[in-house]
């Protein structure tokens, strides 16, 4: 199963854009004040939120991958159970013919 990196790229672009817009808004609204604390606050919100979003996307991708493999494994087990039952019946028929 091939996965796409598009959701990750979109998340990074959106969160980076939000950070840049926030910093520009602070610069425009408070041009003569010391804004370093606000810049740190914006970075302190955007960076962990982006990391959490990327972790969620990776976790979701892993969940889907494991789920699809589990479905394949269950299908294979049920097919093998049917084959084992047919083999056991055939063996029983052969044993019955020998007696």
Q: What is the DSSP letter of 2?
A: -
φ/ψ of 2, rounded to 5, equals -90, 135
**H or E element: which one contains 37?**
helix 36-98
Predicted confidence (pLDDT) per residue in 22-44, tens digit: 999 999 999 898 989 999 999 99
pLDDT at 90 over 90: no
pTM of whole model > 0.85? no
Half-sphere exposure (CA, 13 Å, Cβ side) for 79? 6
Angle at the Cα of 26 (from 20 to 32), degrees rounded to 5?
A: 135
């Amino acid at each position: 199963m091939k996965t796409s990196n598009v959701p990750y790229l979109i998340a990074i672009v959106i969160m980076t854009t939000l950070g840049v817009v926030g910093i520009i808004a602070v610069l425009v609204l408070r041009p003569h004040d010391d804004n370093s604390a606000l810049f740190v606050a914006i970075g302190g919100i955007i960076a962990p939120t982006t990391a959490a979003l990327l972790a969620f996307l990776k976790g979701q991708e892993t969940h889907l991958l494991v789920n699809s493999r589990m479905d394949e494994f269950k299908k294979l087990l049920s097919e093998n159970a049917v084959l084992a039952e047919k083999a056991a019946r055939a063996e029983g028929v052969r044993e019955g013919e020998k007696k």
